[in-house]
Each structure stands twice: as structure tokens, then as C-alpha cells.
Amino acid sequence: MYRSHTCGELNAAHINSEVTLAGWVQKSRAKGFMTWVDLRDRYGITQLIFDSERTDATVFEKANTLGREFVIQVRGRVIERESKNPNMATGDIEILVSELTVLNAALTPPFTIEDNTDGGEDIRMKYRYIDIRRNPVKESLIFRHKVSMAVRNYLSEKGFCEIETPYLIKSTPEGARDFVVPSRMNPGQFYALPQSPQTFKQLLMVGGMDKYFQIVKCFRDEDLRADRQPEFTQIDCEMAFVEQEDILDTFEGLTRHLLKEIKGIEVDKFPRMTYDHAMKTYGNDKPDIRFGMEFGELNSVAQHKDFGVFNLAELVVGIAAPGCGEMTRKEIDALIEWVKRPQIGASGMIYVKCNEDETFKSSVDKFFDQEDLKKWSEVTGAKAGDMIFVLSGKADKVRAQLSALRMELATRLGLRKPEEFAPLWVVDFPLLEFDEESGRYHAMHHPFTSPKPEDMALLETDPGKVRANAYDMVLNGNEIGGGSIRIHDKETQALMFKYLGFTEEEARNQFGFLMDAFQFGAPPHGGLAFGLDRLTAILGGQETIRDFIAFPKNNSGRDVMIDAPSIIHDEQLKELNIRLETAK
């Protein structure tokens, strides 16, 4: 062992002990006959002291040649510090060094190893192994480990069995794009990397495993939006002989346990909200309910005057921004420009200031009187001192626009507090959604999701109205998990494939094994999957997932540290029976 103790554990109780420490030079400073070095490892920082009177001359000299991030080993005696640092675990002591070994020298790091580094994203990613030394990254990775362990221990105690499913599986055209892997032993054929272990976990239920989970990498070859990764981690779960209520109970239990265990926070029973209600009230199927600002639909109180913009709109809807009544005209104009940006796409925005004297001042005073505006304030729940913002247009679009505004205002107003947690379930998702591009219905969740039995008849007449036994867990405005009760009989599954536009042959080729399995005694079953990257980030009070992933890829799917992907040898291509399309 290169050390008797770590750099985070020595305190007054160790005074006069002889110790050996090893770690990185965080910084050093010399003053007259003294040199101090902060020695860092994963566990903390310990101050070393080299004193020209008490330290051997060659050791003292060597100490003054140490650069930042040198890896060193020291032997010395724990002594009481003159100026104690109560903010440091080891702040009462320092080490009077008698022996010093440089285990490895270091070039000057390309950025500072501090909580707030001077390194930009690109250079931090290139030298991720240095970046990881910084507390925020290091602590995020340790935090992720704690979350994973808490999940595993909780589910394991509840009788869930973690079962590894294969990574080399079969490509299916449904859903997102697969990453594929050419098979050398089966020329011309390809494996696919799993987008999720969906069919395998269902087969485990057919196999009687009863309660399954797995923390597992999944892969999607999609054009990467910000904060998406081509490989991501799911907490994947499935249970047999359950109804929706059992799943919600079980995984609400898991999430409450995590919040308690990891954050020390007790939360009440999760509220449940239908998809329709969430869309109507928050314009969003993953509402952040840490704050109010619920939508008020104003059609009945805003379409009776001569204001054509409203009268022509499918939906007129507003929110009350708390305490925003004193916004200046300039601020309001900037906000109107914000909602008119192409990403949001509103054509304009009406505002109503709620004065302290219970009068109103709006941008549509020409059309609406005080009584009208009072009604608007009642519907949106606005109070004196608030500002009401109103959008109008096609219902779907205007809800999405107002939802974006709601989130933006809440962020600006500091209402999205990272250490406050407001989970909920959104239930009764539509089974299908219409895709304009392909002109047909797609599965909103996936093709294995069970329709609600009472809505089955609608499949023929009004497919968009069919609700699924599908549910999402939402935390602070993020979908952290989602799942469904599955179809477990061959007939319904075949029908579903038919409605989704599969020919019988396609369904057979791609999912024949699953439909076969349903004929050999499949139990009712269902489950869900959490996104571990996102879940961990949110529990950690962060908005982005990147620091909770040890070696993330950039937005082009590259690992800039190892420089992957890369070209491979012609011989490899030949063995795999493929060639590059561009190669002539």
C-alpha cells in the first residue's frame, strides 16, 4: 500500500501519529522557511508542511519543485495546525513531512482542478480524466453510484431479480433508428443494439420470473438534441400478475425510498393526473407542479367582443405570472419577442396587468372592459400585483407555446427550486398518435402497450381516442419514467400490429417469437423504465445529465477523448463482408 490513510480522514485524534499519504498536489505555497502543499485524493485534502528547520534539506528542496497535479507519496508526523480551518475535515492538523517520493510528475493541467474551472466544455471533454478530478464531476459520479445501489437494494428486497438481457439482438424498423453490428459468422446479417430490453423482459414474464429489473445500457441512433446521448442507462422493470395500480404503487414506493434515502426528503403520496388534464392545465404531459401558474381557458370570457384574433382562435388561454404586475413595457415587449421566436412560434401575446387597487390595465383595453378582465383574472387565478399573459390559436400549438412561457417565467422567477421535489403520475395516455408525415397512426408508447379494455371498440371508429394503460412518472417537469400494462395475448397483439400498419408477414418476421410466446401461457404483465441519467441529474439538483456520465459523447456522437468513432482496417471490413459506400 502506498498509504496508511487517505487524504480525508486525519484529524486531531491522530496527532503525533506517523502516517503515509499519497495523492495529487492541489497547490503549494512557499513563505520564507516554510512550504505548504495541499495533497488531494478522492476523499479530501490534507495540508503538508515542509519546514526548512525541521525537514531534511533534500526533502525540502524537492518539495519546492512540485508542480500542480504531481502524484506524490509522503511520510510524516501528524501535528496540530497553527491556523485551523474549520471548513475542512482535516483542518485541525497538518503533516510535517519527513520523506517525499514523486510517484509521477505532471504536465500543467489544461484547466484548473477547481469547482469552478476555467476550462470550457470541449477541453474538459477531451481531458475528461482530468475533469473527473474536479469535485462537481467526481461527486456526481459517486452520487450516481449511490442512486444505483439504492435502486438495486430496494428492488432486490422487494423480490425483484436483476436479469441481464442480451446486447446483440435483432433490428426492428419500428421506433427509433437502431445501431447495428455486422456479424462475421453470419455474413450479410446484422445484430442490433437494444433500444430497450422490452421484448426480453416480457419474455421473462412469460418465463415466470415474476419480478424483473435491470440497470442496463440502451442505444438509439438519433440525431442528438442537446443533453441526449446515443447510449443511455435505464432502470428497466417488469412484473407479472399485476394491474396498473400495482405498478404505480411499487415504483412510487421506489421513488419515495430514493428521495428519503438519497435526499432525506419525505414526499406525500404522488398526485395522479390524466394526460388530458395535464395537457389542458399545463400544456404539457410532464408538468412541473412545484409551482402553480395553471392554465385558464378564456374562450367563454374572451370571444364575445370584437377582437378578431381571439374570435378566430380555437383556444384562448392565459396564465397569471405571480408578482409580475410591475414589469416594464420594455420587459413585456422582450417577453413577447421571446414567445414569437421560431422555437416557440406564437404570433403575438396579450397581457393584463392586475393593479393593486383591483383595476386592470391590458394591451386589449380597446376591446375588453374591466369586468371582462376581472373574469380573466378569476379564470387564471391572478391576484393583485400579477400579470396575466394570454395566447390564442390552434389548441395543440397554443398549449405548447404557453407551456414554454410558463416554464421560462418560472425559471426567471426562481420557482423551479432544485432542492424541491414534486413527483406525480400522468396516466391514461392515448394509445396512438397520428403522424402527419406517414399519414398513419403510431404507437405513442410502443406496440406492446395494452389499450384500456373499455376503449377497445373505439379502435375501429376513432383510434385517436383510445386510451392506453400507460403512465409516466414526472418529476419537476421531467419525464423520469414511463411504462404500461402490456398486451399478453396473441390476438390483441396481432390486431395492434395491424392497426399500426404492419403486414401479417412483417409482424411475423419481426415479432413472431413474442406472439408465439403469448400462446404458451403468458401471464398478464406490465412494467416501466426509468431514465437513470436524467433521474440522477434531477435528484442531484442539476439540469444537465453530462456530469453524471463518466465519459459522455458530444452532440455528434463522438467521444473526443479517445477519438471514436474512427476508421477501421480494410481487413476488418472484409471479414465482416461489408464495404464503405463511398469507397471506389
Cα-Cα-Cα-Cα dihedral of 318, 323, 329, 334, to 10°? -70
C-alpha cell, 361: 390595465
Residues in 235-264 that interact with a copy of itself by CB under 8 A = 241-243, 246
- Per CB under 8 A, contacts with a copy of itself among 51-70 are 69-70
Site for a copy of itself in 506-545 (CB under 8 A): 513, 516-524
Kindly tell me which of 406 and 525 has the beta carbon lying closer to a copy of itself: 525
Which CB sits closer to a copy of itself, 286 or 553? 553
Note whether 154 binds a copy of itself by CB under 8 A.
no
**Nearest alpha-carbon partner for 351 in 371, 327, 384, 379:** 327
| Shortest distance (Å) from residue 50 CB to a copy of itself | 20
Choosing from 81, 152, 397, 416, the residue that interacts with a copy of itself (CB under 8 A) is 152
Verify binding: residue 454, a copy of itself, rule CB under 8 A. Answer: no
Report DSSP state, residue 304: S
Choice between 81 and 170, CB closer to a copy of itself:
170
Q: Is 556 in the site for a copy of itself (CB under 8 A)?
A: yes
Among 217, 304, 394, 465, binds a copy of itself (CB under 8 A): 217
SS3 sequence of 247-299: HHHHHHHHHHHHHHHHHCCCCCCCCEEEHHHHHHHHCCCCCCCCCCCCCEECH
Q: 365 or 575, CB closer to a copy of itself?
A: 575
Q: Which of 38, 210, 227, 408 binds a copy of itself (CB under 8 A)?
A: 210
Could you give the CA distance from residue 296 to residue 268 in angstroms, rounded to a whole number? 26
- Grid cell in block for residue 463: 383510434
As measured in angstroms, the least distance from the Cβ of 75 to a copy of itself is 14
Question: For residues 28-47, which are near a copy of itself according to CB under 8 A?
Answer: 40-43
> Could you tell me the CA-to-CA distances from 552 to 147, 217, 375, 568 in Å, in that order?
19, 13, 51, 22
Burial of 529 (0-12, 13-18, 19+ CB in 10 A): buried
Interacting residues with a copy of itself between 79 and 108 (CB under 8 A): 103-107
Q: Please name the residues in contact with 151: beta carbons below 8 A apart, sequence gap of 6 or more.
A: 213, 215, 235, 254, 258, 532
Out of 64, 65, 186, 411, name the contact with a copy of itself by CB under 8 A. 186
In the complex, minimum distance from the CB of residue 187 to a copy of itself, in angstroms, rounded to a whole number: 7
Candidates 44, 230, 385, 541; binder of a copy of itself (CB under 8 A) is 230
Contacting a copy of itself within 479-498 (CB under 8 A)? 488-489
CB atoms within 10 A of CB 198: 22
**Residue 130 near a copy of itself by CB under 8 A:** yes
| β-bridge pairing 161-162 and 211-219 | parallel
Residue 556 CB, nearest approach to a copy of itself (Å): 6
Give the nearer residue to a copy of itself in terms of CB position, either 2 or 33: 2
Q: Cβ distance 469 to 429 under 8 Å? A: no
Residue 553 makes contact with a copy of itself by CB under 8 A: yes
Binding site for ATP, by residue number, is: 220-222, 229, 479, 531-534
Select from 53, 460, 582, 584 the one that contacts a copy of itself (CB under 8 A).
582
Query: For a copy of itself, which residue of 10, 48, 206, 258 counts as binding (CB under 8 A)?
Result: 206
- Give the Cα-Cα-Cα angle 284, 289, 295 (nearest 5 degrees): 55
Rg (CA), the chain: 30
Q: Which stretch binds a copy of itself (CB under 8 A): 149-157, 294-302, 441-449, 451-459?
A: 149-157
Given candidates 184, 341, 440, 498, which one binds a copy of itself under the rule CB under 8 A? 184
What span, in angstroms and rounded, lies between the C-alpha atoms of 390 and 360?
14
**Smaller CB distance to a copy of itself: residue 210 or 479?**
210
554 torsion bin: left (phi>0), alpha (psi -120 to 50), beta (else): beta
For a copy of itself, the binding residue among 15, 34, 79, 181 (CB under 8 A) is: 181
Site for a copy of itself in 309-348 (CB under 8 A): none
Let me know: does 561 contact 127? Beta carbons within 8 Å. Answer: yes
Dist CA 512 CA 505 (whole Å) = 9
The residue count for binding a copy of itself (CB under 8 A) is: 127
Closest CA to 522 of 251, 204, 237: 204
* Min CB(507)–a copy of itself separation in Å: 14
Residues at the annotated binding site for L-aspartate? 174, 220, 445, 486
Residue of the chain from 435, 504, 564, 570 that contacts a copy of itself (CB under 8 A): 564
